[in-house]
A and B are shown apart, each in its own frame.
Chain A
Amino acid sequence: MRVVWSLLLVGVLALIAFFGAQAGGQALFGIVLPYLAMAVFLVGVAARVVGWARSTVPFRIPTTCGQERSLPWIKPASLDNPSTGLGAAARVLLEVFTFRSLFRNNRSELREGGRFTFSADKWLWAAALAFHYSFLVVFLRHYRFFAEPVPAVVAWIQGLDGFFQVGLPVVYVSDIVLVAALGYLLWRRLADARLRYISLHADYFPLALILGVALSGVLLRYFSKADIVAVKELAIGLVSFHPAVPKGIDPLVFVHIFLVSVLLTYFPFSKLVHMAGVFLSPTRNLANDNRMHRHVNPWNPPIVGHTYAEWEQEFHDKLVASGIPLDKE
C-alpha cells in the first residue's frame, strides 16, 4: 500500500501550503522556498551530471540492435547499430524525443501447453510519451506568467493547445492528456501484480506529486477565481529578482507553487534524474566502431597474461614429442 502513503504525503504537503500561506507564510511559500528549490534543483542536477561525467567509460559497449557496418554490400542499421558518432547522437536524440526503445515493447505470455506468444504492447510507450510531452507543453505555457510581453512562440503553443475551444476558459488539451497519462501510469503500477511488486515509494511519490501539481493547476485555471494579474506580478518578481508577494493571491496558488518547489527539490535525489542521465548512457551514446578505431581505457591495468615463453617452457617436451615447432628453431 505504498501508493497510499505517497498520496497522503502529497495531500499533507498541499495542506501545509494552503494553511501556511494563510497563516502569514506567503513570503515563505511564494519567495523563499521557490528560490531554495530552484537552487537545489540546479546545483543538484549539475552535481549528478558532473558525478556521472567524472566516472570513466573504459569500454565501448553499445547495445547493438541491428546490422553492423561490415561489408559494403550489406546495409548497416545506422541508427540501431551506429558506426559513427553522428549515428550514435541521432540514436540518443530519437531515444529522448520518441522513446524508441520503449516503442519496441512487446508482451510475452505463456499459453496452454507451454507456448509463448508475443504481442505488441504500445501502451506504456504511448502513456509515457503523452505524459512527457503534455508536461512539456504545460511547462512552456507557463512562460506567459514570467514574461511581458508574452513571447510569440508561447502564445502559439497556447493557441494550439486550446485549439478545440471547449468551455470558458478554454480547456487545454495538454491538461487533459497530462492528468489522464498520469492516471494511467499510476493505475498500471497498481493493476499489474508484477509492477506492484517492484514499485517503491520512489515510484509512487513522483507520480502523486506531479498529479498534485497538475490538479492544483487545473483547479486554479478552471475553478478558482485566482487573480491572474497578481500571480503574474509574483512570477515576474521572482524571475527579475525583485520578489514581492502582491495582495489578493488565492491560497491555492501557494499550494501549486509549493508542490512545484517540492518537485524541484526532490528531483536531483530521485530517479527523475533519468532526464539528464539518458544522454550519458554508454549502451546508447557510443558508436559500434571498436574494430575500426581503438577506444582508450584511461585506467587500463598493466596486466600481462601467461606468456608464450612460460608456456613453451612448461610444455616443452610435449611440444617436441608431437613435432609442434618451438619458438627458436
Chain B
Amino acid sequence: MTSHALHLLTGLRRSVAAGVIALFAIALLGNGAFAAEHAKAEAKTELVEDSHHGHTHGPAGHPTAAKKFGYAYLTAYMFCLSLCLGALFIVILNHLFDAQWMIPIRRFLEHIACLLFPTMFILWIPIGYLAVDIYPWMSIDPDHDHALHAKAILFNKPAFYGVSCLLFLVWGFIAHGLRSASLAQDKDGAASHTRTMRRYAAGGIFLFAFSLTGAAIYWMKSLQHQFFSTMYGVVYFAGSVWVTAITTYWLLLYFKNRGDLKDVAREVTFHDCGKLFFAFTVFYAYIHFSQYFLIWNAAVPEETFWYVLRENGTWKWVGQLTIFGHFWFPFIFLLPIHRKLNFQAMSMMTGWAWLCHYMDLQFNIGPVLYPDGLSVGIYDVLSLGGILAVLIFMFSRAFNAHPPYPQRDPRIAEAMGVYVEPASSKAAH
C-alpha cells in the first residue's frame, strides 16, 4: 500500500518522490523559520507602535480562526479548481481543433472536468458558508465605500451566491455533455457523437471563458474589491492550463506505466503534452507580465495598491518565485526537445509546477489576511490534502468504471500511429 502510494506520487522512483517531498518540507520549514524571525522583530516594533496607533492588519482585518481556515481552504480550492477547469479546457480544445494527438489523454481529462459538478460544487459550500469571513466587501456598507458602491451590481450577496451556483451549472452542462457523448461513442462508434461533442465545444468555449473569468473575479479578485484588472481572469486561466498540462503529462505517464494507456501513449504524445506545457509557460508569463507592466507603467493608485501590498515581507519572494520559478526555470529547462521526453525530469517538473502554481494562488489570496508575509500552516495542509483526497477518490472511481481512452473515436487509429485504409478506397480496388 505504501509503495503504491509512493508510486502514485511519481510513477517512477521512490528516490524522486523523496526528493520532491524533501523540497516541499524544506520550503515549509524555511518559511516557518523566516516567519518566526519576522514575528520577533514585529513583536518588538509592536510594543512601540501599539501605544500610538495599534497593530496594522490586512484588508481582511484580524485573522480569526474562521478567517484563517477560510483563506487556507479558498487557496486549496482554487488550486484544485485550476486542475478541473484546465482539464475542461483541454477537452474542449481537442474537439475545436479536431486534434488526434489528444485522444489518449481525453478520457481521463473528461473525468477530471466532470469533477466540477457536483463534487466541486459540494466542496464549494464551505466557501459559501464562510463567505462573510473571507470576503471583506460583504461586511462593508456600499454607501460608505465608493468602489463598492460603483461595483454594487456585481458585489452583493444575492449576485455572489446566484452567479456562483450558475457557474457550476454551466460547467456541469459542458463537462457532462462532452463526457456522456464520448462514453456513448465507445458503445456504438457513431460519428454523430463526434458532431455532438463539437457543438458542445464550440458553444462551450465561450461559456467557459465567461464562467472562468466570473469564478476568478468572484472568488479571488473580490478579496480586494477596489482592484481593477481586465487581465485577471486570463491570468488565472493561463496558470490553470499551465499546471493542468504538466499534470496531464504525469497522469499519462502514470496510466501508461500502470498499463491502462500503454497502447495509445506514444513518444509523440508525451512530446506534444510537453509542448503544450511549454506554450503555457510562455503564455502565462506573457499575460501576467502584461498585467503587471500596465499597472506599473500607469501608476494609478486604484491599481498599484494591489501589488504594493504584495511587495511586503516574504510576499516579495513569493513574487520572485513566480518570475523565476513559474517562468524562467521551466522555460530554459524545457527548451531542448530531449527534456520534454525525459520522464524523470518531467515528473520533477510536475511537482515544481504544483508548488509554483500553489504559491501563485497564495500570492493572490494570502496577502489580504497576512499582509506581512506568506503564512502556510496546518489549515493549508489539511485543506489541500482533504480536497485532493476527495477529488482523487472520485476520479479513480470514474476512471476505473469506464474504458481508459475513447475506444471508437474516428481518430483513434491515427492517434495510435496505425494506418487504416478507408472503406471507400477498399471498395474501389
Q: Do A and B form a real pair? A: no
